[in-house]
Structure 1
Amino acid sequence: MITAASLVAAEGNNPLIPHTYELVVGIFAFAVVLIVVGKILTPRIQKTLNERTEAIEGGIQKAQDAQAEAQALLAQYKEQLAEARHEASRLREEAREQGAQIKAELREEAQAEARRLIEAAHAQIEADRQQAFAQLRSEIGRLSTDLASRIVGESLEDEARQRRTVDRFLEELESSSAAVR
């Protein structure tokens, strides 16, 4: 049976309760580790973490700055592109206006040249008509004189008389053709 004395003796060798010297050494070792970790390692770890944080934040800031610069360049590019399109449109419109102006000038020059050619042709036709009329008049006069001299039986050699006769005949002929029109 188990007696109280055997329980007290058994309690002295309890493996769950540490010996006093082990407790003192354990507390001393814990304090040393705590001091070393708290005073030496924690600042170094904190410093490394701060450097990494600053590096990350700096990288983020650089990325934001680069993105803002890219956005500004994009806006500038779009503005320049819009200006270039506007300028191209203006140049096209200007070229179209110049083309229309040149076309109108060429049309006016062509019409003026056509009028000049038509007037020259009319003048040439009128001159040719007058020449043909004069040749015809002299030929008619000669033929009329020959015919009249054959009919009358005497020579109509007098040139002044011959001209008067021919002129009178042609005037009568012109007045009769004017009356017919």
Structure 2
Amino acid sequence: MERLFNLDPQLLHDAILLAIAVFVMFLLLSYLLFNPARDFLKKREERVKNNIDSANQANADAQALRAQYEEKLQNINKEADELMSAARKKALENEAKIIEDAKAEAARIIERANHQTELAVKKAEDDIKKEIISVASMIAEKVIKENIDLSIQDSLVDDTLKEIGEQTWQS
């Protein structure tokens, strides 16, 4: 028999047996070691994929939350503008009310002053009338002392009444 590559048959036999042993060992190790390792790597790959998916989901949720907060901030600015507008409107209404109250109070003060002035004028008129009456009665007393004539006395009373006016005696 001829030698292959210049190898003896015993060496070829041993090499074939070794190859069969390595193949059987490979099958056995693949069943015992490679399959659990593949399962482990597959589970790890799924876990990493789940982590990436959950991170993407969390990122999407964060983006949605950010958009929601930005919308709320815009709404807050709008609400602040509305509150400021309402406050300005209320301030203008209060201003108008205060001005109206001040005008009403000024009108009442003017009315009271006019009334007091009228009262003072009436009092002064009454004082003057009383003074006139007292002067007239003094004159009448002097005239009566000099002339006790009834006709003269009646004419003096009538003249005085005409000068003063009948309304003074009636009030």
What is the TM-score with the length of structure 1 in the denominator? 0.66
**What's the CA shift string for 1:68-125, capped at 9, x where partnerless?**
1121112112212321332132123202211220221122022112202211220221
**What's the CA shift string for 1:7-53, capped at 9, x where partnerless?**
xxxxxxxxxx9952533432232222233345654444333222211
In structure 2, the partner of 1:26 is: 18
In structure 1, the partner of 2:160 is: 162
Note the 1:145-160 alignment, pairs <5 A. Answer: 146=138, 154=146, 157=153, 158-160=156-158
- Work out which of the residue numbers 79, 82, 85 in structure 2 matches 1:93: 85
- Work out which of the residue numbers 41, 44, 61 in structure 2 matches 1:69: 61
In structure 2, the partner of 1:58 is: 50
**What's the CA shift string for 1:126-173, capped at 9, x where partnerless?**
12212212321330353366469879x956853222344567xxxxxx
In structure 2, the partner of 1:110 is: 102
What is the TM-score with the length of structure 2 in the denominator? 0.69
- Closer, same or farther: CA 150–166 of 1 in aligned 2, 3 Å: farther
Runs of at least 5 residues in structure 2 that lack an aligned partner in the other structure: 1-7, 166-171
In the alignment, residue 56 of structure 2 is paired with which amino acid?
A: Q
Partners of 1:117 and 1:154 lie apart in 2 by 55
In structure 2, the partner of 1:142 is: 134
Partners of 1:166 and 1:108 lie apart in 2 by 46
In percent, how many aligned pairs have the same letter? 28
Asked if 1:124 is matched to 2:122, the reply is no
Partners of 1:84 and 1:154 lie apart in 2 by 103
The alignment yields a C-alpha RMSD, in angstroms, of: 3.2
Partners of 2:146 and 2:162 lie apart in 1 by 17
| SS, match of residue 51 in structure 1 | helix
Greater relative CO, 1 or 2 (CA 8 Å, sep 6+): 2
Partners of 2:81 and 2:163 lie apart in 1 by 80
In the alignment, residue 93 of structure 1 is paired with which amino acid?
A: S
